[in-house]
């Protein structure tokens, strides 16, 4: 939690002024019992109405000044807390963006969303409350005790006995509940994870009539969370009644002692009332402090969870600019253009193995092949055979466990990530579009692309016709996730987005699954005819989509079952034969 306080550095003035004005308010509040004592002993006892009126005006003035200080303190505290939370969220979002797919897979989307929203809000609330009350409440508690000593030492000994008991209760409950609140937030992660799954897969749930089982699963997780919240709530709820018992016992002792002191003429009736008022102030402030402790406990637990994300470093190391430049000077001595095509493969896998984090076995084993510039490489295999894992290694979404992946003769780990991914156009399995317009989505590929470049990419992706038919053309709206477009339209727009940057390597990871065979064929033909002549990787489960590729890599359970052309594999690769003949009639064999 301490490391997060760095985000308060731009609000040093507010973090000083907020507690300062609260202390001023508390100081004026401590004078109120003394004014009341003076009214009773001097005004009421002597029947001096003028004195009572003057003292009442003093009370009103103290109240107005205290209110002004309180509002000012609240303003500065809110400004600091909101600014702190905004900077922390920005830094957290930027850090999450820097994490690799490995960390994303390990932590989970629901957990990261909880950290960004619920946990961040709890920390913001904690900072706000600390700036307002953390100094004020102890100041009034100990200030009231000191003021009591100025009235009568013997009566003030009651304060000396009560305050340590109250502190023991408050801080004891805090120590017990802190780890429990941490578990509560973990349970919230689980509930959010189930909720996200159900909302994302609602159609699948209904298709397989699994609503009841998912309802039971949610109820189990939600019930566990409720039980944890009840347990910690019971402990936290003990704070108020226990503190009330101690305070009221102290008031009884104070009145009893004060009565004897008044009887003996040691103190006055007004001073007894002042002592009781000071004890009441301590009660109110300790109740506030108790609630503040609960808030701080939650904030610390949530802050530690956010800090754990900040402490998580990406498993992908991005070489520094100077190292990247040096690597470029050393590695790019190979001539570009035609001579590079002749001498250096565009992409090469050298005995590559990949094991995902916490996985029990390798997902890819001893993958070894070369792809020349301008070639089309087909990747085919059964579900779970490692097709996506293979192409994800090229833009370095994951790092290899063994072996090397080379792009233009350089190990991908020597590239700066921005340089490497600038060479690659990647279309993932799931077509993801963002809320905005078609133009804004396409410009992700190249920020300064002209309309001509955008239409060229759309034409290659077989998307120009339906874009021009839309009201607004390139400026037609796109709903969140592309919900207002069909599956095929979304896929074609994501392909166009990748083509806008004119990549030297184009990866289509099963990105034409929603297209009919005719559109798929036109798309592949348009890509082959591109002037740039990119090296194209087509991942597909359709044999028709990759049968004309220069090389076809057949994967079976993470291993290469065969590499060659369609004719070569059809003649001598059983795994390819099984896939091909399952999709085509015997007459076409």
Furthest-apart CA atoms within the chain: distance in Å? 120
Please give the order of strands across the beta sheet that includes 559-564: 424-427, 505-509, 535-539, 376-381, 551-556, 559-564
Q: How far apart are CA 404 and CA 411, in angstroms?
A: 6
Q: Which CATH class is domain 2-310?
A: mainly alpha
Q: Secondary structure of 225-282 in the HEC alphabet?
A: HHHHHHHHHHHHHCHHHHHHHHHHHHHHHHHHHHHHHHHCCCCCHHHHHHHHHHHHHH
Which residues fall within 8 angstroms of residue 222, CB to CB, at 6 or more apart?
191
Note the Cα 480 to chain centre separation in Å: 19
* pLDDT given for residue 585 in this prediction: 65
Residue 550 has what DSSP assignment?
A: S
Backbone angles phi, psi at 337, to 5 degrees: 75, -135
Q: How far apart are CA 210 and CA 358, in angstroms?
A: 29
Taking 70 as the pLDDT cut, the residues of the chain under it are 1, 320-343, 585-589
Please give the order of strands across the beta sheet that includes 410-411: 364-371, 347-354, 402-407, 410-411
For 48-107, give the DSSP string.
-HHHHHHHHHHHHHHHHHHHHHHHHHHHHHHHHHHHHHHHHHHHHHHHHHHS-HHHHHHH
Which residues fall within 8 angstroms of residue 257, CB to CB, at 6 or more apart?
154, 155, 158
Q: How far apart are CA 385 and CA 363, in angstroms?
A: 8
Cβ 282 vs Cβ 140: under 8 Å: yes
Count Cβ atoms within 10 A of the Cβ of residue 568 and give its class: 0-12 exposed, 13-18 middle, 19 or more buried: middle
Cα separations in angstroms, 289 against 25, 52, 133, 135: 16, 34, 7, 10
Q: Evaluate the CA torsion angle 487, 489, 491, 497 in order and state its sign.
A: negative
* pLDDT given for residue 357 in this prediction: 84
Q: Where are the domains of the chain?
A: 2-310
CA atoms within 13 A on the CB side of 413: 11
- For the record, the structure tokens of 145 come out as 């005790």
Q: Secondary structure of 185-214 in the HEC alphabet?
A: HHHHHHHHHHHHHHHHCHHHHHHCCCHHHH
* pLDDT given for residue 341 in this prediction: 44
pLDDT tens sequence across 433-455: 999 999 999 999 888 899 999 99
Cβ 307 vs Cβ 187: under 8 Å: no
* pLDDT given for residue 50 in this prediction: 87
Residue-level length of the chain = 589
* pLDDT given for residue 328 in this prediction: 46
* pLDDT given for residue 324 in this prediction: 45
Nearest partner of 85 among 131, 123, 129, 130, judged by Cα: 123
């Amino acid at each position: 939690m301490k490391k997060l306080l760095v985000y308060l550095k731009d609000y040093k003035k507010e973090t000083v002024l907020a507690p300062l004005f609260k202390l001023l308010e508390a100081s004026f509040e401590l004078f109120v019992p003394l004014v009341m004592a003076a009214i009773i002993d001097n005004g009421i006892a002597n029947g001096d109405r003028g004195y009572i009126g003057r003292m009442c005006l003093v009370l009103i003035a103290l109240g107005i000044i205290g209110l002004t200080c309180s509002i000012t303190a609240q303003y500065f505290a809110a400004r600091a807390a909101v600014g702190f939370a905004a900077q922390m969220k920005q830094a957290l979002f930027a850090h999450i963006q820097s994490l690799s797919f490995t960390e994303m897979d390990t932590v989970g989307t629901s957990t990261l969303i909880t950290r960004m929203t619920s946990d961040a809000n709890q920390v913001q609330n904690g900072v706000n409350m600390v700036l307002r009350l953390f100094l004020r409440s102890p100041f009034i508690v100990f200030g009231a005790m000191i003021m009591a000593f100025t009235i009568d030492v013997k009566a003030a000994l009651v304060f000396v006995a009560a305050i340590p008991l109250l502190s023991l209760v408050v801080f004891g409950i805090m120590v017990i509940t802190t780890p429990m609140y941490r578990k509560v937030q973990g349970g919230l992660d689980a509930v959010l994870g189930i909720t996200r799954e159900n909302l994302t897969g609602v159609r699948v749930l209904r298709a397989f009539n699994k609503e009841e089982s998912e309802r039971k699963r949610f109820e189990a997780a939600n019930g566990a969370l409720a039980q944890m919240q009840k347990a910690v709530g019971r402990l936290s709820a003990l704070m108020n009644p226990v503190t009330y018992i101690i305070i009221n016992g102290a008031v009884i002792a104070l009145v009893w002692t004060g009565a004897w002191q008044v009887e003996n003429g040691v103190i006055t009736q007004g001073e007894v009332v002042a002592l009781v008022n000071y004890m009441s102030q301590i009660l109110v402030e300790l109740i506030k402090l108790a609630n503040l402790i609960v808030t701080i406990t939650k904030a610390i637990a949530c802050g530690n969870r956010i800090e754990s994300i900040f402490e998580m470093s990406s498993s992908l190391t991005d070489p520094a600019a100077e190292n990247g430049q040096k690597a470029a000077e050393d590695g790019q001595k190979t001539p570009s253009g035609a001579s590079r095509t002749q001498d250096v493969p565009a992409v090469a896998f050298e005995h590559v193995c990949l094991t995902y984090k916490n996985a029990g076995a390798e997902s890819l084993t001893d993958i070894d092949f070369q792809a020349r510039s301008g070639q089309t490489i087909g990747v085919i295999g059964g579900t779970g055979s490692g097709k996506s894992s293979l192409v994800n290694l090229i833009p370095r979404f994951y790092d290899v466990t063994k072996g090397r992946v080379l792009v233009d003769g350089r190990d991908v780990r020597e590239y700066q990530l921005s340089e490497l991914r600038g060479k690659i156009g990647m279309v993932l399995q799931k077509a993801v579009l963002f809320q905005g317009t078609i133009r804004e989505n396409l410009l992700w590929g190249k920020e300064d692309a002209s309309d001509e470049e955008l239409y060229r990419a759309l034409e290659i992706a077989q998307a120009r016709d339906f874009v021009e038919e839309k009201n607004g053309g390139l400026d037609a709206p796109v709903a969140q996730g592309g919900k207002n477009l069909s599956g095929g339209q979304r896929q074609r727009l994501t392909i166009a987005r990748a083509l806008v940057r004119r990549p030297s390597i184009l990866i289509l990871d099963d990105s034409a699954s929603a297209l009919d065979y005719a559109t798929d064929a036109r798309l592949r033909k348009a890509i082959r005819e591109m002037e740039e002549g990119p090296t194209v990787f087509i991942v597909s489960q359709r044999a028709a989509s990759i049968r004309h590729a220069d090389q076809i890599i057949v994967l079976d359970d993470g291993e290469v079952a065969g590499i060659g052309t369609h004719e070569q594999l059809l003649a001598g690769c059983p795994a390819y034969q099984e896939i091909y003949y399952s999709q085509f009639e015997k007459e076409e064999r």
